[in-house]
């Protein structure tokens, strides 16, 4: 936890932010890395890409010494705070194990036991190094179990950087009055078209559309892969009734229900979104918050389905770095903290307090708005009503949102500069006064053309 004093409004007034050191670093890095970064979404332009010096608590400093209260939190992993000493101490104990031996350690069962205790549907666990890897394994397990290769995803969902799921709904060019579904296109070049034939895409919160697809393609579809809260799409949330129907439909059509809890897991509740909704998936994937930033991910599921990981004639899973002792030690400590302390209720309460302050600012500016998802990872949509699906993004004022998000770093606040990414909250945010943050947002709103 950070120990900085609560900052007040005066700390978030506009200052002339320079990025000279980041720009120099960009020029250097672009010579050795495409776009000068390790993930294409980290590139914000030659002059605006930020290079990080360090993080502590809820704060990040860039190479120029600009300080930000961070609401990106690495796209979600930081649940306690950057550089959390409890977790880092545990990771150091993991270092003492000496590295990867391509053999199991005691830590694997310790972390698996914690997950089984905390997450309602999880009876068996396998680890991975990234969310993408965990979701890829979930799909393989579902296919191995069902014997069917087709699967269904939700418009606006993101499930990682591997080909079968790299399909996005092109909402930017969709005409809501056309009566047609929006086009589904690959995330860029290099993704084999053959994968498109294996995936059906449906809007969130539309159980009829899901059932129609299940009926039409029942011989081909083996899995429904979904995020109960769309963590890469404004945190648009499933309705309770919808998720309940999803469970029933998957049972009726004999389809494996996979909850991708890479963002919601160990964040929106100790047991993830499945605990919040009281709906049990067959398989779930976790990553981000489970290690407070250390690279660790997991697939969990019912013993019945996980038993297909059974040997060389079963479903294959593994990898040289899988179950790395440093990451597992960090995960063990993070999960213990989340289980035994009120860290998550504090995250939720602070997120709610920030929403209350921001809501007052938007109301004063007569700006229609809704907060979506969960207070620990909430979306802000400039529209009147709660959205049902990604299609409702088209009728939100996302250009205004993007302009706001791009202006906030000059005030020392760092949300993702894209309306579809939620605001993430960590335990260390409690050191900051939500009213001060909202005050800076009010200043920004006042400068924007509407």
Site for ligand PLP in 59-78 (CB under 6 A): 75
In the complex with ligand PLP, which residue's Cβ is closer, 132 or 322?
132
Instruction: Look up residue 5 and give its DSSP letter.
Output: P
Length of the chain: 450
Candidate list 36, 131, 222, 325; residue touching ligand PLP; CB under 6 A = 131
What three-state secondary structure class fits 133?
helix
- Binding part of the chain for ligand PLP, among 23-31, 112-120, 130-138, 337-345 by CB under 6 A, reads 130-138
Distance (Å, whole) CA 234 – CA 380:
7
In the complex with ligand PLP, which residue's Cβ is closer, 199 or 353?
199
Residue 8 corresponds to which tokens in the numbers above? 């007040």
- Binding part of the chain for ligand PLP, among 13-21, 260-268, 311-319, 400-408 by CB under 6 A, reads 260-268
84 binds ligand PLP, rule: CB under 6 A: no
Distance (Å, whole) CA 359 – CA 441:
11
CB of 369 to ligand PLP, least distance (A): 24
287 binds ligand PLP, rule: CB under 6 A: yes
Candidate list 135, 226, 243, 445; residue touching ligand PLP; CB under 6 A = 135
Distance (Å, whole) CA 55 – CA 442:
26
By Cβ distance, which residue is nearest to ligand PLP? 131
132 binds ligand PLP, rule: CB under 6 A: yes
Residue whose entry in the numeric block shows the structure tokens 């049972």 = 251
Distance (Å, whole) CA 435 – CA 7:
10
In the complex with ligand PLP, which residue's Cβ is closer, 127 or 432?
127
CB of 230 to ligand PLP, least distance (A): 8
In the complex with ligand PLP, which residue's Cβ is closer, 75 or 382?
75
Candidate list 232, 235, 292, 327; residue touching ligand PLP; CB under 6 A = 232
In the complex with ligand PLP, which residue's Cβ is closer, 160 or 415?
160
In the complex with ligand PLP, which residue's Cβ is closer, 130 or 397?
130
- Binding part of the chain for ligand PLP, among 124-132, 325-333, 375-383, 400-408 by CB under 6 A, reads 124-132
Residue 406 corresponds to which tokens in the numbers above? 């791009």
- Binding part of the chain for ligand PLP, among 91-99, 126-134, 335-343, 407-415 by CB under 6 A, reads 126-134
262 binds ligand PLP, rule: CB under 6 A: yes
Q: Which of 141, 163, 164 is nearest to 152 (CA)?
A: 164
CB of 129 to ligand PLP, least distance (A): 8
Residue 336 corresponds to which tokens in the numbers above? 């213990």
In the complex with ligand PLP, which residue's Cβ is closer, 299 or 370?
299
- What is the number of other CB atoms lying within 10 angstroms of the CB of residue 146? 19
In the complex with ligand PLP, which residue's Cβ is closer, 348 or 416?
416
Q: Which of 234, 287, 233, 296 is nearest to 259 (CA)?
A: 287
CB of 209 to ligand PLP, least distance (A): 21
247 binds ligand PLP, rule: CB under 6 A: no
Distance (Å, whole) CA 69 – CA 46:
23
130 binds ligand PLP, rule: CB under 6 A: yes
Number of residues interacting with ligand PLP: please give it, by CB under 6 A.
Answer: 16
Candidate list 227, 357, 427, 433; residue touching ligand PLP; CB under 6 A = 227
159 binds ligand PLP, rule: CB under 6 A: yes
Q: Where are the alpha helices (DSSP H) in 207-271?
A: 207-216, 240-252
Distance (Å, whole) CA 150 – CA 332:
35
Distance (Å, whole) CA 303 – CA 305:
6
Distance (Å, whole) CA 437 – CA 85:
26
Whether the Cβ atoms of residue 222 and residue 187 lie closer than 8 Å to each other: no
Q: Where are the alpha helices (DSSP H) in 236-323?
A: 240-252, 272-277, 303-306
CA trace torsion 60, 64, 65, 69 (10° rounding): -30
In the complex with ligand PLP, which residue's Cβ is closer, 330 or 438?
330
Distance (Å, whole) CA 52 – CA 262:
24
Q: Give the interface with ligand PLP as residue ranges (CB under 6 A).
A: 75, 130-132, 135, 158-161, 227, 231-232, 260, 262-263, 287
């Amino acid at each position: 936890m950070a120990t900085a004093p609560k900052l007040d409004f005066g700390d978030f007034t506009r200052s002339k932010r320079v990025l000279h050191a980041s720009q120099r670093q960009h020029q250097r890095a672009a010579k050795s890395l495409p776009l000068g970064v390790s993930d294409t979404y980290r590139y914000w332009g030659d002059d605006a890409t930020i290079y990080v010096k360090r993080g502590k608590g809820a704060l990040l400093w860039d190479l120029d010494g600009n300080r930000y209260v961070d609401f990106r939190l690495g796209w979600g992993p930081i649940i306690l705070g950057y550089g959390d000493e409890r977790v880092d101490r545990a990771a150091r104990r993991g270092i003492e194990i000496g590295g990867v031996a391509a053999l199991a350690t005691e830590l694997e069962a310790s972390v698996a036991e914690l997950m089984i205790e905390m997450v309602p549907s999880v009876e068996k666990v396998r680890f991975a190094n990234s969310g993408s890897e965990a979701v890829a394994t979930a799909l393989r397990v579902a296919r191995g179990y069902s014997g069917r290769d087709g699967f269904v995803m939700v418009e606006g969902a993101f499930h990682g950087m591997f080909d079968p799921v790299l399909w996005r709904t092109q909402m930017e060019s969709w005409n809501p009055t056309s009566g047609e579904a929006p086009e589904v296109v690959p995330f860029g070049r290099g993704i084999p078209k053959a994968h498109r034939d294996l995936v059906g895409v449906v809007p969130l919160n539309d159980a009829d559309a899901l059932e129609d697809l299940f009926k039409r393609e029942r011989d081909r579809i083996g899995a429904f892969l979904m995020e109960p809260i769309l963590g890469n799409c404004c945190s648009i949330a499933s309705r309770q009734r919808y998720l309940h129907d999803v469970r029933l439909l998957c049972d009726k059509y004999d389809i494996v229900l996979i909850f991708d809890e890479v963002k919601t897991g160990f964040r929106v509740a100790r047991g993830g979104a499945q605990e919040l909704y009281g709906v049990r998936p067959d398989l779930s994937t976790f990553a981000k918050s489970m290690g407070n930033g250390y690279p660790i991910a997991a697939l969990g599921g019912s013993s019945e389905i996980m038993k297909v990981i059974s040997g060389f004639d079963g479903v294959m899973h593994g990898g040289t770095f899988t179950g790395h002792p440093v990451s597992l030690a960090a995960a063990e400590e993070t999960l213990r903290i989340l289980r035994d302390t009120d860290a998550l209720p504090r995250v939720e309460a602070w997120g709610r307090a920030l929403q209350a302050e921001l809501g007052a600012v938007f109301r004063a500016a007569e700006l229609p708005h809704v907060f979506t998802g969960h207070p620990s990872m909430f979306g802000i949509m400039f529209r009147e009503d709660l959205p049902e699906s990604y299609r409702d993004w088209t009728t939100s004022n996302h250009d205004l949102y993007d302009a706001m998000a791009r202006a906030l770093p000059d005030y020392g606040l760092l949300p993702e500069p894209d309306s579809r990414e939620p605001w993430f909250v960590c335990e260390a945010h409690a050191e900051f006064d939500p009213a001060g943050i909202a005050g800076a947002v009010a200043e920004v709103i006042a400068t924007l053309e509407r």
